[in-house]
Amino acid sequence: MEESSGLSGMDSWPVPVLVQTQNEKLVRLTGLPKSLKQRAWDDIKANSPTLASLLKDESLREVVEHFSAEIFIEAHIAPCLPPESLKGRKAKAPE
């Protein structure tokens, strides 16, 4: 009989994730001034109700707080925010 390590699902191969850095346009949601926070929230609710629901989830809030993380989303979802690059990614010059 095979022993179970108790780590169900941890023995599977990782799944590759496509990361697109060309023309990547992201906006940062964390640390927004009050003046932009409500406008961004209105954009998110209108453009992506599913994302709005996720952002309200207590589990996500706990993870973000635990890791002192920042949340970035695609710029078209909250067009009122200025686009930013993720830390560690080289900004490409416009072509």
Ranking 41-45, 85-89, 90-94 by mean pLDDT, the lowest is 90-94
Instruction: Provide the percentage of residues in the chain whose pLDDT is more than 70.
Output: 71
Determine the Cα–Cα distance for residues 77 and 46; give it in Å rounded to an integer. 8
pLDDT at residue 33 is higher than 50: yes
pLDDT at 22: 62
pLDDT at 54: 95
Residue range of the domain that includes 56: 34-77
25 within a domain of the structure (yes/no): no
The model scores a pTM over 0.85:
no
pLDDT at 60: 94
44 within a domain of the structure (yes/no): yes
Q: How many domains does the chain have?
A: 1
> What is the CB neighbour count within 10 angstroms for residue 29?
21
> What is the CB neighbour count within 10 angstroms for residue 43?
19
9 within a domain of the structure (yes/no): no
